[in-house]
Structure formats: C-alpha cells, structure tokens
Amino acid sequence: EELYAASAYLSKEPIQIGTLRGQDLGKAFVLSVIGIGTLLATIAVVTGNNWAQPLLDLFKDLK
C-alpha cells in the first residue's frame, strides 16, 4: 500500500491521488465508527444500561 501511495505521490496523477484520498477517507470513517461504537458499548456496560445489548448481541453472533 505504501509503495502504491509513493508511486501516486511521485507521478502526481489526479486519478491515483484521488483513489488514495478516497481510501484514506474510508479508513478514517471505519476507524471512527469502531471507536465510537467501542466507547458507547463500554459506557453502556459500565453504567449497566441495556440499550446497547441488542447491538452487542448482534456482534457476538457474527463470529
């Protein structure tokens, strides 16, 4: 991946740079969703609220 990024940066081709930008935004989105979900699930478990239990059960079933 880094080799592809370096190649796109050095060639300065707009399509390759746009592709990399899209991938980076996608990764940032997924990381944000994972982080927010982890934080919310942790808060729900620590406080004893059951509002997140259906979501936690859904992810347990994805094994």
Q: What is the DSSP string of 15-59?
A: HHHHHHHHHHHHHHHHHHHHHHHHHHHHHHHHHT--TTHHHHHHH
- Model pLDDT, residue 37: 85
Domain that holds residue 56: 2-60
- Model pLDDT, residue 4: 82
Q: Sign of torsion, CA 37 38 41 42? A: negative
- Model pLDDT, residue 13: 92
Find the angle CA(5)-CA(7)-CA(11) to the nearest 5 degrees.
Answer: 120
Specify the DSSP element, H or E, that contains 60.
helix 53-60
pLDDT means per 10 residues, the chain with 63 residues, are: 84 92 96 91 86 80 72
Backbone angles phi, psi at 52, to 5 degrees: -95, -5
Number of domains comprising the chain:
1
- Model pLDDT, residue 63: 63
